[in-house]
Amino acid sequence: MSSSVRPVKITRQFTRTSPGSVLYESGNTVVLCTASLDEAVPPWLVGAGKGWITAEYNMLPHSTNKRKRRDRDGKVDGRTTEIQRLIGRSLRAVVDLQRLGERTLTVDCDVLQADGGTRTASITGGFLAMCDALYPVFGSSTEHPLTDCVAAISVGMVGGVPTLDLDYEKDVAADVDMNVVMTGRGRFVEIQGTGEEATFDDAELAALLALARSGVAQLVQLQRETLGDQWPISK
User: The CATH number of the domain where 15 resides is what?
Assistant: 3.30.230.70
Q: Furthest-apart CA pair in the chain: how many Å?
A: 54
* Residue 56, in any domain of the structure: yes
* Residue 118, in any domain of the structure: yes
CA atoms within 13 A on the CB side of 166: 26
User: Which pTM does this prediction carry?
Assistant: 0.94
Give me the residues paired with residue 107 across strands. Answer: 35, 55
* Residue 3, in any domain of the structure: no
Proportion of the chain above pLDDT 70, given as a percent: 97
Integer Cα distance of 150 and 128 in angstroms: 9
pLDDT for the residue 235: 57
* Residue 35, in any domain of the structure: yes
Q: Is 186 left (phi over 0), alpha (psi -120 to 50) or beta?
A: left
Which structural domain, as residue segments, surrounds residue 151?
A: 8-228
pLDDT for the residue 132: 97
* Residue 83, in any domain of the structure: yes
Give the total number of structural domains in the chain: 1
Residue 235 vs residue 121, higher pLDDT: 121
* Residue 1, in any domain of the structure: no
Tens-place pLDDT, residues 82-96 = 999 999 999 999 999
* Residue 233, in any domain of the structure: no
